Structure 1
Amino acid sequence: MKNILLILTLIAINMIGYSQELPTEPANGYAFPIGSKFTIKLHPIDSTKFDYSIIEYEPFQEIIDTWENDSIFKENGQKGTIEFYFCLSTSGDSQEEKEKNMKVLLLMKNRTEYSLTYNSDIQTDENGEFKGTSNVGTFSGAKGTEMWPYMIHQIGLNDFKKME
Structure 2
Amino acid sequence: MTLLFIGISAINAQQENNQISDSIPATGYSFPLGVKLKLKLIRPENDTASYKYTIIDKEEFRDTLIVSDVKKYFSEKPEKDIIEVFFSIGYYTKPQKGGENNKMQTIMTLRNNTEKRLNYSADIVPYGKQEFENTSVTALFPNVVNTEIWPYFIPVIALYNFKN
Name the TM tier (shorter chain): 0.7 to 0.9
- Identity among equivalent positions (%) equals 30
Deviation at 1:64, TM superposition (A): 2.0
Q: 1:29-40 maps to which residues of 2 (within 5 A)?
A: 29-40=28-39
Change (3 A) 1:96 1:102: farther
Q: Deviations over 1:96-149 (max 9, x none)?
A: 438733111110111111211111000103561000000112111111111111
Take 2:156 and 2:136, find their aligned partners in 1: how far apart are those partners? 15
Question: In the alignment, is the contact (CA less than 8 A) between 1:92 and 1:101 conserved in 2?
Answer: no
- In structure 2, the residue matched to 1:65 is 66
Report the equivalent of 1:78: 79
Question: Counterparts of 1:25 and 1:98 in 2: how far apart (Å)?
Answer: 45
| Among candidates 106, 109, 113, match of residue 108 of structure 2 | 106
Q: What does residue 4 of structure 2 align with?
A: none
Q: Which structure 2 residue ranges, 5 or more long, are not aligned?
A: 1-11
Unaligned runs of 5+ in 1: 1-11
Displaced runs of 4+ in structure 1, greater than 4 A? 12-15
The offset of 1:150, in angstroms, is: 0.5
Q: Letter of the 2:51 partner, please give it.
A: F
Aligned-pair RMSD on alpha carbons? 2.4
User: Which amino acid in structure 1 is aligned with residue 103 of structure 2?
Assistant: N
User: What code does the residue aligned with 2:50 have?
Assistant: K
| Paired position in structure 1 for 2:7 | none
Q: Does 1:24 align with 2:23?
A: yes
Between 64-73 and 130-139, report the one with greater CA deviation.
64-73
- In the TM superposition, 1:1-150 aligns within 5 A as 16-17=16-17, 24-45=23-44, 46-90=47-91, 91-97=93-99, 100-126=102-128, 128-150=130-152
Distance in 2 (CA, whole Å) between partners of 1:25 and 1:55 is 10
What are the superposed Cα offsets for residues 75-102 of structure 1, whole Å, 9 maximum, x if unpaired? 1021110000001112345244387331
Letter in 2 for 1:47: T
Q: CA deviation at 1:153?
A: 0.7
Deviation at 1:17, TM superposition (A): 4.8
Q: 1:147 to 1:78 in 2, by over 3 A?
A: same
Where 2:89 maps in the other structure, the secondary structure is: strand
Whether the aligned pair in 2 keeps the contact of 1:40 and 1:54 (CA below 8 Å) is: yes
Q: Report the alpha carbon displacement of residue 42 of structure 1 after superposing the two structures with TM.
A: 0.5
Q: Would you say the 8 A contact 2:95–2:102 is kept in 1?
A: no
Give the TM-score normalised by the residue count of structure 2. 0.81
